[in-house]
A and B are shown apart, each in its own frame.
Chain A
Amino acid sequence: MIPQFAVIGHPNEGKSSVLSTLAEDDSVVISPLPGETRKCRTFPITIDGRPMVQLVDTPGFQNPRKILASLKKKSASGLDAFKELTQNEASDPDLADDCELLRPVLTGAAIIYVVDGSRPLRTVDKIEMEILRLTGRPRMAVLNNKEEEQQYLNGWKEELRKNFNSIRLFNAHQATYVERINLLQALKSIDQDLEPLFDSIIQSFEIDWQNRNSQVASKIIELLKQALPYTVSSSIKTEDNRKQIEQKLYEQYKKQVSKLEEQTLKAIRKLYKHNIFNIELPENSILHDDLFSEKTWQVLGLNKKQMMIAGGIGGATLGATADIVAHGLSFGLFTALGTVLGSTGALLGGKKFSQGHKLLGIPLGKEEVIVGPNKNHSFPFILLDRSLLYYNHVINWAHGRRSHQATTTEISLQNDKMQGFSTLLDKKEMRLCTEFFNVARENKTDSSSAEKEQLFFHFLTGKLQNISTGKQV
Chain B
Amino acid sequence: MATKWQLYDIIDLEFLLTTPHDDESDRHKRDRQWYIDKLDSQFAGTTHSDQEILAAFLTEKRSSTDELPGRLFQEFSRLITVITLLVALLTGSALTAAALWYDGSVPVNVFRFLGLLLLPQLIFLFFILLSLLVKRENFIERHPSVLLNLGRDVLLKLFFKLKKLTLASHGMDRERSKTITEVIKKHSKLFFYPVFNFFQLFAIGFNIAALATLLIRIAVSDIAFGWQSTLNISSTFLFRLTQIIAIPWKHLFPNTLPTLDQIEGSRIILKEGISVLTNEALTSWWPFLFFTLLCYGLLPRMFILLYGATSERKCLRAFLFDQPEIKRLLQRMQTPYVSSAGEQPAAAQQGIAPSKETVSLSKPVNADAHILLPEDIQYDPETLKILISSFGFSAASTQRVEMYWENDEPILPAAAAGSNILVLVEAWMPPIVDTLRFLEQLVNHYGDALTIYIGLIGKPIKGLPFTPPSNQEIGIWQTKIESIQNKNLQIIPCTTTEDKP
For A208, the chain B residues whose CB sits under 8 A away are 335-336, 338
Inter-chain contact B353/A27, CB cutoff 8 Å: no
For A55, the chain B residues whose CB sits under 8 A away are 340
Shortest distance from the beta carbon of B157 to any chain A beta carbon, whole Å: 15
Inter-chain contact A48/B433, CB cutoff 8 Å: no
Size category of the binding interface on chain A:
35 or more
- B343 interface contact, C-beta 8 A: yes
A200 to B338 alpha-carbon distance, docked (Å)? 11
- A157 interface contact, C-beta 8 A: no
**B contact face: mostly helix, strand, loop, or mixed:** loop
- A235 interface contact, C-beta 8 A: no
Inter-chain contact A211/B350, CB cutoff 8 Å: no
- A60 interface contact, C-beta 8 A: yes
> Could you say which of B32, B338, B433 contacts A45, with CB atoms under 8 Å apart?
B338
A205 to B340 alpha-carbon distance, docked (Å)? 10
For B414, the chain A residues whose CB sits under 8 A away are none
Q: Do A94 and B346 form a contact, CB below 8 Å, given A24-B341, A207-B335, A215-B331?
A: no
A448 to B319 alpha-carbon distance, docked (Å)? 13
A41 to B344 alpha-carbon distance, docked (Å)? 7
Q: Do A36 and B331 form a contact, CB below 8 Å, given A48-B33, A48-B336?
A: no
Shortest distance from the beta carbon of A418 to any chain B beta carbon, whole Å: 31
Binary contact track B317-328/A, C-beta < 8 Å → 1, others 0: 011001010011
Inter-chain contact B350/A36, CB cutoff 8 Å: yes
Which of A61-69, A291-299, A333-341 participates in binding chain B?
A: A61-69
Q: Do A41 and B350 form a contact, CB below 8 Å, given A65-B404, A222-B324?
A: no
- B115 interface contact, C-beta 8 A: no
Shortest distance from the beta carbon of B361 to any chain A beta carbon, whole Å: 19
Q: Do A357 and B352 form a contact, CB below 8 Å, given A29-B347, A204-B336, A445-B322?
A: no
Inter-chain contact A45/B339, CB cutoff 8 Å: yes
- B441 interface contact, C-beta 8 A: no
Inter-chain contact A43/B341, CB cutoff 8 Å: yes
- B185 interface contact, C-beta 8 A: no
Inter-chain contact A46/B338, CB cutoff 8 Å: yes
For window 19-33 of chain A, which residues contact chain B by CB distance below 8 Å?
A: 22-25, 27-29, 31-33
- A182 interface contact, C-beta 8 A: no
For window 451-472 of chain B, which residues contact chain A by CB distance below 8 Å?
A: 459-461, 472
> Could you say which of B327, B406, B459, B476 contacts A119, with CB atoms under 8 Å apart?
B459
Inter-chain contact B146/A359, CB cutoff 8 Å: yes
A409 to B36 alpha-carbon distance, docked (Å)? 38
- B351 interface contact, C-beta 8 A: yes
User: Which A-chain residue is minimally distant from B430 (CB atoms)?
Assistant: A34
Which of A101-109, A120-128, A279-287 participates in binding chain B?
A: A120-128
For A11, the chain B residues whose CB sits under 8 A away are 430, 432
Inter-chain contact A25/B340, CB cutoff 8 Å: yes
Binary contact track A297-326/B, C-beta < 8 Å → 1, others 0: 000000000000000000000000000000
A444 to B403 alpha-carbon distance, docked (Å)? 76
Shortest distance from the beta carbon of B153 to any chain A beta carbon, whole Å: 10
Q: Do A218 and B428 form a contact, CB below 8 Å, given A25-B341, A65-B434, A94-B433?
A: no
For A61, the chain B residues whose CB sits under 8 A away are 432
- B345 interface contact, C-beta 8 A: yes
- A49 interface contact, C-beta 8 A: yes
Inter-chain contact A214/B336, CB cutoff 8 Å: no
**Given A207-B335, A357-B149, 14 more contacts at CB 8 Å?**
A10-B432, A25-B341, A32-B353, A32-B354, A44-B340, A46-B337, A60-B432, A65-B403, A65-B434, A94-B437, A123-B375, A208-B335, A270-B24, A273-B25
Query: What are 12 A-B contacts with C-beta separation under 8 Å?
Result: A27-B341, A33-B353, A34-B430, A35-B430, A36-B350, A47-B337, A47-B338, A48-B336, A62-B433, A124-B429, A215-B331, A364-B146
In the A-B complex, the 5 residue pairs with the smallest Cβ-Cβ separation, listed nearest first, are A34-B430, A62-B433, A23-B340, A208-B338, A65-B404
